[in-house]
C-alpha cells in the first residue's frame, strides 16, 4: 500500500474516533413534551391520557385502553 493511502486511512480513523462522542447527545424529542398537536390540544382541554400505566406488578406498559377508549 502506498504511504498516502495509509495516511488517509489513519486520518479517517482518528476523525471517526473524535467525532463518535458527538452522537451521544440528548434525545431529539424530550419525554415531557407533547408528541403531536392532538396531545397538546387534549392536554389544554383537560382530557390528556398518559402514554403508559403500571401493570399489576408495577412495570410500565402502554395505556392502550385509556388511549383507544371512547372520548365522550
Cβ atoms 63, 50 nearer than 8 A: yes
Handedness of CA 42, 44, 45, 48 (dihedral sign): positive
- Which contiguous run of DSSP H or E holds residue 50? none
Average pLDDT of every residue of the chain: 83
Report the share of the chain in percent with pLDDT over 70.
92
**How is residue 39 written as a grid cell?**
396531545
Closest CA to 48 of 62, 66, 30: 66
- At 13, the pLDDT band (50, 70, 90 cuts) reads very high
Angle of CA points 47, 49, 53, to nearest 5°? 155
pLDDT score recorded for residue 42? 84
For the segment 17-45, what is each residue's pLDDT rounded down to a tens digit? 888 777 777 777 777 777 788 888 888 88
Looking at residues 43-51, what average pLDDT do you find? 83
pTM over 0.75: no
Amino acid at each position: 500500500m502506498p504511504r498516502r493511502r495509509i495516511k488517509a486511512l489513519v486520518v479517517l480513523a482518528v476523525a471517526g474516533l473524535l467525532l463518535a462522542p458527538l452522537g451521544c447527545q440528548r434525545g431529539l424529542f424530550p419525554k415531557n413534551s407533547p408528541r403531536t398537536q392532538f396531545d397538546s390540544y387534549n392536554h389544554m382541554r383537560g382530557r390528556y391520557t398518559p402514554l403508559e400505566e403500571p401493570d399489576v406488578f408495577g412495570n410500565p406498559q402502554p395505556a392502550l385502553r385509556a388511549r383507544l377508549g371512547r372520548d365522550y
